[in-house]
Amino acid sequence: MARAVSLQRRPVGLLLALLASIALLAQPSAAIASVTRRGKYLYQGNDRFYIKGVAYQEAAPIAESTAANDDNGGFPEPDSFTDPLALPDACTRDVANFRDLGINTVRVYSVNSSLNHDACMSSFSNAGIYVILDLALPLNGSINRAQPSWDVGLLDLYASTIDVFSRYDNLLAVNIANEVVTQPSNANAAPFIKAAVRDIKAYLRSKNSNVLVSYSSTDGPSGVNQWRDMLAYYLTCGSADTSVDLYGLNSYSWCGNSSYTASGYNTLTSDFSSLPVPAYLAEFGCVENVGTNNRPWTEVAALFSAPMTDTFSGGVAFSYFPQDTGPDYGLVSVSGNTVNTRSDWQALKREFANTSAPTSAPSGSSSSPAYAACRGNTNNFPASTVLPPTPNAQLCNCVESNAFSCALNPATFNSPSIIGTLTGQACTYLSEQGGSCAAILADGESGTYGDYSFCTSAQRLEWAMSQYNVVTNFNADSCSFSGNASVKVPPQPMASAINDAFSTCLAQNPVGVSTPTPHAGPATVNSTVSASTAAPSQTGSGSGSGSGSGGGNSNSASASFQGGKGLATAMTLGGAVVAAWSML
C-alpha cells in the first residue's frame, strides 16, 4: 500500500516517462537492420549479405515409416517437435553461444503458432540473429510427396504461423517446404510447392510484409537435365509472383578435407549460376562416421569466397543440437539445462571468423535478372507447368453445408489414417457405380485439378461418400462405411437439389487464383506439439537424408488414399469441371 501511495506522489512528468518506457519495452525491438533481395543477391544496406547460420531445433523421435513413404523416396520423419522459439530461458542460454560462433542466422524447422515467441525473437534480434522459419509441421502439416496437394488446411496452418511471426523484424524468410521432391518419380509434387509459393507470397503482400519466401531441396544428380537442377529452375521460373525469393539446397557432398572440385561444389555453382534469385546451402556439414564430432568445416572457406559467392549467399551449418541415434550432427551436447560445445564448434567458429566474402555483386551482374520460361514434363522431371488453384475454404464450406448428404462421425473426423483408407474405398465404390472422384483429385503431372481437390481431407471424404450415397438412391447404409459416417440431419432432399447446391456454391465462390483468405485463428494440425520435447531427425552421412522436419512426408493420411488416377471417368454429380490454372 505504501508503494502505491509513493508512486502517486511522483511528479506527473516522471510518471508519464516511466509508463512510456514500459510501453516501449513491451513492443518488439527494432534492433536489427533489414535484409533485402535485389536480383540474385541479398543485401544489408548497400553491402551483400551472406547467411552465416546454424540449424536450431532439437531432434525428435522418428515416426514409423509407411510403404508409401518408402516407395516415394521419403526420408525418416519425426513424429513430434519442440518449438525452440517458445523457450525463453533456452534462447537466452543459446544466444550467447551464437555470438561466440559468429553466426547471423538460425534455421528453425517447426513452431507452434499458438505459443508466445516474443522473448526468443527479441533476444535473437538484439544479438543480430535472423530467422529462416519453415512453415510445415511433421506428419500431416506438410505437402505429402506420395499424394501431394495444396489445400485449405495447409494454407490455414501456414497463414497462422505468418500471422504470428511476420511482425518480428528479424524474420528473414519463411520456407514453404523441405525436401519434398527427392527423385523423378515424385516431381509431380512440384506444382503444389509452386502454388504454395504463389499464394503465400500473395498473402504476405496483403499484410505489407517483405519477408522472403523460400524452398529447401535435397541434393541430387548434377546436370541441367537432372531433377535437382530442373526443380531449382522450375521453382524460380515464370514471374516474380510464382518464383521463390530464396532457393536453398541441403548438401552434404563436402566431407572432411575435400576440395571445391572433389566435392562437386564446382558443378553445383555452375549448375545454379543462372538462377534469378539468391541461393544458399540450407544445410551443410557432412558427418562421415556414426557418433563423430570432429568435422574440420573446410567447406566454409569455399562457400564464402569466389567463385562460389558469384552464385551462393552463404549457408546453414547442421546442426546445433545433437542426435540420439545415427550420425550425430550436433555442435553441442546437452545435459539438463546445460549446453557444452564440442570440438566441431571451435573448428566452425574458426572457419566462420576467417571468411571475407565479397561485399558487392560481381561486375556485369544484373540487379533484376529475367525469369526464364517454365519447362517440365520430362522423363527426369514429370511436373506440369500448370499449377493448382488457390485453396478456397469458402467453396469447401459451402458445399459441405449445402450439398453433402453424408457426415463423418467425430472420431473419424480426427483420424487421418482412417480418412485416407475410407477415401480410397469410397472412390472405388463410386467408380463401380459409374461415377468418379475426379472432382477431389489433383494430378501435378498432367496439370489437372478437381474443383474440390483443395478441400480438407475430411471434406474430400465426405464428398466421395455423399456422391456414393446419391448414386445408390440415398440408401442410408451407403453413408455408414462401417459406422464411420452417417446421413446428415436433416437429410438432403433429392439429387437435383444437390446439383443445384453445387452449382450455386461454385458460382458464388469461383475456383481460380486469388489472394488467400484463410480462416481466422490457429489451424488444427494432426501433429504432436511440445514446448519441451524434440524435433528434426537425421539419418545418413553425407546425403542430408531425412534432415530437418516437416518435409514432404509420405507417412500422413492421404498416403493411404488409393482412389487416384484410375478413376478418371466423367463426373455424374457435383463438380463436373476439372480445372487447370496456368502459372503465368
pLDDT tens figures, 74-120:
556 667 799 999 999 999 999 999 999 999 999 999 999 999 999 99
Active site residue 432: no
Domain end point (choices 328, 353, 378): 353
Q: Is residue 17 part of a domain?
A: no
Do 349 and 397 belong together in one domain?
Answer: no
The predicted pLDDT at position 264 comes to: 97
Do 242 and 97 belong together in one domain?
Answer: yes
Do 468 and 320 belong together in one domain?
Answer: no
Do 271 and 133 belong together in one domain?
Answer: yes
What is the CA 415 to chain-centroid distance, rounded? 22
For 20, how many CA atoms within 13 A lie in the half-sphere containing its CB?
6
Do 242 and 299 belong together in one domain?
Answer: yes
Q: Is residue 541 part of a domain?
A: no
The predicted pLDDT at position 30 comes to: 53
Active site residue 299: no
- Can you say whether the dihedral through the CA atoms of 529, 533, 535, 539 is positive or negative? negative
The predicted pLDDT at position 552 comes to: 55
pLDDT in tens, 282-312: 999 999 876 667 899 999 999 999 999 999 9
Q: Is residue 118 part of a domain?
A: yes
- What total of structural domains would you count in the chain? 2
Do 201 and 328 belong together in one domain?
Answer: yes
Do 397 and 337 belong together in one domain?
Answer: no
Q: CA–CA separation, 207 vs 220, rounded Å?
A: 36
**Domain encompassing residue 424:** 393-511+556-582
Candidate list 283, 299, 351, 400, residue with the active-site label: 283
Q: If we measure between CA atoms, which residue out of 385, 528, 463, 486 comes closest to residue 61?
A: 528
DSSP state, 565?
Answer: T
Q: Is residue 30 part of a domain?
A: no
Q: Is residue 344 part of a domain?
A: yes
Q: Is residue 26 part of a domain?
A: no
Q: If we measure between CA atoms, which residue out of 510, 493, 500 comes closest to residue 573?
A: 500
Do 334 and 435 belong together in one domain?
Answer: no
Do 294 and 437 belong together in one domain?
Answer: no
Cell of 28: 518488439
Q: Which residues contact 347 (CB under 8 A, 6 or more apart)?
A: 294, 295, 296, 297
In terms of DSSP bridges, do strands 528-530 and 406-408 run parallel, antiparallel, or are they unpaired? unpaired
Q: CA–CA separation, 266 vs 275, rounded Å?
A: 15
Place of cell 488444427: 524
The predicted pLDDT at position 71 comes to: 53
Do 306 and 445 belong together in one domain?
Answer: no
Q: Is residue 403 part of a domain?
A: yes
Domain end point (choices 332, 353, 374): 353
Q: Is residue 213 part of a domain?
A: yes
Do 339 and 449 belong together in one domain?
Answer: no
Q: Which residues contact 165 (CB under 8 A, 6 or more apart)?
A: 111, 113, 117, 121, 131, 133, 171, 174
Candidate list 58, 77, 179, 299, residue with the active-site label: 179
Q: CA–CA separation, 545 vs 75, rounded Å?
A: 6
The predicted pLDDT at position 293 comes to: 77
CATH assignment at residue 465? 1.20.58.1040
Do 474 and 424 belong together in one domain?
Answer: yes
Residue ranges for the chain with pLDDT beneath 70? 1-30, 61-78, 290-292, 493, 519-584
CATH assignment at residue 231? 3.20.20.80
The predicted pLDDT at position 548 comes to: 46
Q: How far is CA 483 from CA 126, 406, 409, 425, 428, in A?
A: 56, 12, 8, 14, 18
